[in-house]
Amino acid sequence: MTYDAGDIQVLEGLEAVRKRPGMYIGSTGPAGLHHLVYEVVDNSVDEAMAGHATRIDVRLLPDGGCEVIDNGRGIPVDRHPQYPELSAAEVVLTVLHAGGKFGGSGYKVSGGLHGVGVSVVNALSTWVEVEIDRDGKRHRMTFRDGGNLQDRLAVMGEAPAGRTGTTVRFWPDPAIFDQIEFRAQTLLDRFQMMAYLNRGLEITFIDERPGEDTSVDGPVRFLFEGGIIDFVSHLNEAKEPLFPTVGYFAATEEDQEVEIAFQWNTTYQTDGMHSFANGIATIEGGMHEEGFKKSLTNAINRYAREKNLLKEKDDNLQGEDIREGLAAIISVRLRDPQFEGQTKGKLGNVSMRSLVERSTNDKLAQWLEEHPAEAKAAVAKAIGASRARLAAREARNAIRRKSALEGAGMPDKLKDCNSRNPEESELFIVEGDSAGGSAVRARDPRTQAILPIRGKILNVERARIDKMLRNTEIQTLITAIGANLGEEFDITKARYHKVIILADADVDGSHIRTLLLTFFFRQMRPLVENGYVYIAQPPLYSTEVGKSKVYLKDDVARVAFERDQLAAGRKQPEFQRLKGLGEMDWEELRETTMDPERRTLLQVNVEQAAIADEITSVLMGDDVEQRKSFIVTNAKDVRFLDI
């Protein structure tokens, strides 16, 4: 093999996007497919944040395309100074990182600053149509096969009276994506959040695709005049608010603004705070969250001392005590956001921390004085949380003392791996001792550890941390993973970078997976956010072809296999439904589920923590009516039901 100048490739234009789509949209799976819609809609939302758009209409077309219409200013249509042969609109659709958000006067704030832009949507589509209503005229251009300009921008006639805005229609390329069927609920969750964060912005959604499995009944409309106040009320719908009032304050300083809404509920979670910068979810927090947490702790302690709600001998309330049961939205907007990494997971602007600290110190103190009943209820809850925290500390110390006395750092039931490198180490959490025994024989002892758990663990959604720490199975999980939990969880101390839930493919197995996922999401969320949590995918079916046994992952694989067998002139295959891991011997378990070369793992991630928070509360909380409503609403999205 040679390696010289001729081996250095230069990818021109949008060719780079098609060559390595994952670099631009994350993946070619469902997340990447839906990212195309977000890129187009984000441009329209930027127009709304700039004060030039009030409505966005999204339509899933019968033939699999997507249409996004806004009533903003419309993409500029005059010639571009850097590319005089092209209009500005053609540049936006064909040149990477081209747009009006890189220092010009078109946008004061923008959510799309680090995005890859609509040009990537063009690159990954078979056909794109763009209509622009601007200056009283309707302009149109089209692109085909990955961004090749088919019809140059041209005036098609007069725009409807007074109408301005942009319409984008695109059809994803099936040669790029694993599948090109949009999931309506995934889009609706995102649009709902956008509408909450942009008070007065109306977003409508219509699914015109045929078939019950894909369509939403009628148009869906999101419009929240209360903005993030309505957002907090929505988050607490599945919980019991401590009081009916939703607190709110806002502040503006030069090119920065912050608005915060908050309300306590009766739950024991401390992760109900969600932050956004220019409409982008900052799931890893950042300066705005730091400023709010610090000032919230100071303001509540100051109020509690002034009103004699804390005794002289009492210690100050800790931040985690005050945040127990707090649902809060922190939304900031600024001209030059500094995000850590391309994922925009963490905001780094120090000036924003200062603004949030000052405004929270002043305005939260004022709110507490004006709402004494609510303030006393919040302080009383924090005092209860403080007592539980002290009890939990005793429980932790008891666990540590017990481990020290027994002389073994790890639980007896854990069959650990030999490797001490977390990056290559895997922990299989296995349902039951019998399946655990098979998994121990099937594993690679160098990198795979096995932890059998007995029955169903505690539902942590309904338990305070002191009760949680008295649960034997949870103690075992905490010790095995080795990174603590809750506020003290330290992802750098995790002993495994793959924590794999291995449960039966039946109703009980699904329940165990749900309980474990609730525990990880509530008490070890960084484990989920960093992509360390996986669900094993044992096959649902087996059949025999000649003397060979064939395993099939799910119903889709079974139908495809059956079709292929019949097409080849073979007889109708007989399938065995494998409900339990105990039905497989250890060789089968290794071959189908544990061998890294042949297995399938489902990675669990949290793209939108606020939505995950809400769904977890609905499904695992105490409100039966909310849970029933969720099940009825989403019943038609169920693909494979085991009853």
Give the pLDDT score at 541. 85
What local confidence, expressed as pLDDT, does residue 639 receive? Answer: 46
The predicted model gives 531-535 an average pLDDT of 92
Range with lowest mean pLDDT among 6-10, 219-223, 468-472, 545-549: 6-10
User: Can you give the pLDDT at residue 113?
Assistant: 42
Please, which residues have CB within 8 angstroms of residue 156's CB and are 6 or more apart in sequence? Answer: 131, 138, 139, 140
> Tell me, what's the pLDDT at 629?
58
Q: How confident is the model at residue 310 (pLDDT cuts 50, 70, 90)?
A: confident
How many C-beta atoms surround the C-beta of residue 556 within 10 A?
Answer: 11
Share of the chain above pLDDT 70, in %: 84
Q: What percent of the chain shows pLDDT beyond 90? A: 48
**Residue range 360-384, pLDDT digits in tens:** 999 999 999 999 999 999 999 999 8
| 294 token code pair | 């610090």
pLDDT band for 159, please (50, 70, 90 cuts). Answer: very high
**Domains of the chain as residue ranges with CATH:** 15-222 (3.30.565.10), 228-389 (3.30.230.10), 409-538+578-606 (3.40.50.670)
- As given in the structure block, the two tokens for residue 637 are 């999205």
Task: Using the predicted structure, report yes or no on whether residue 239 has a pLDDT greater than 60.
Answer: yes
**Most confident range, picked from 2-16, 119-133, 512-526:** 119-133
Is 50 exceeded by the pLDDT of residue 643? Answer: no
Distance (Å, whole) CA 630 – CA 317: 36
The structure tokens listed for 16 are 């780079």
Burial class (CB in 10 A: 0-12, 13-18, 19+), 580: middle
Q: Is pLDDT above 60 for 521?
A: yes
Phi-psi region of 371 (alpha: psi -120 to 50; beta: other; left: phi over 0): beta
What are the residue numbers of the active site? 431, 504, 506, 508
Half-sphere exposure of 175 (CA within 13 A, CB side): 10
634: CB partners within 8 A, 6+ apart: 185
pLDDT band at 220 (very low <50, low <70, confident <90, very high): very high
Is the pLDDT reported for residue 167 higher than 80?
yes
Cβ–Cβ under 8 Å, residues 94 and 147? yes
Instruction: Assign 191 to helix, strand or coil.
Output: helix
Question: Angle of helix 184-197 relative to helix 609-620, nearest 10 degrees?
Answer: 110
With H, G, I as helix, E, B as strand and everything else as coil, classify residue 258: strand
pLDDT of residue 142: 97
pLDDT, mean over the chain: 85
- Is a pLDDT exceeding 90 seen at residue 197? yes
Report how far residue 177's alpha carbon sits from residue 186's, in angstroms, rounded to the nearest whole number. Answer: 17
Banded model confidence at residue 100, pLDDT cuts 50, 70, 90: low
- Whether pLDDT at 124 is above 90: yes
pLDDT for 342 beyond 60: no
Taking CA atoms, 634 is separated from 60, 201, 216, 425, in Å, by: 19, 26, 10, 37
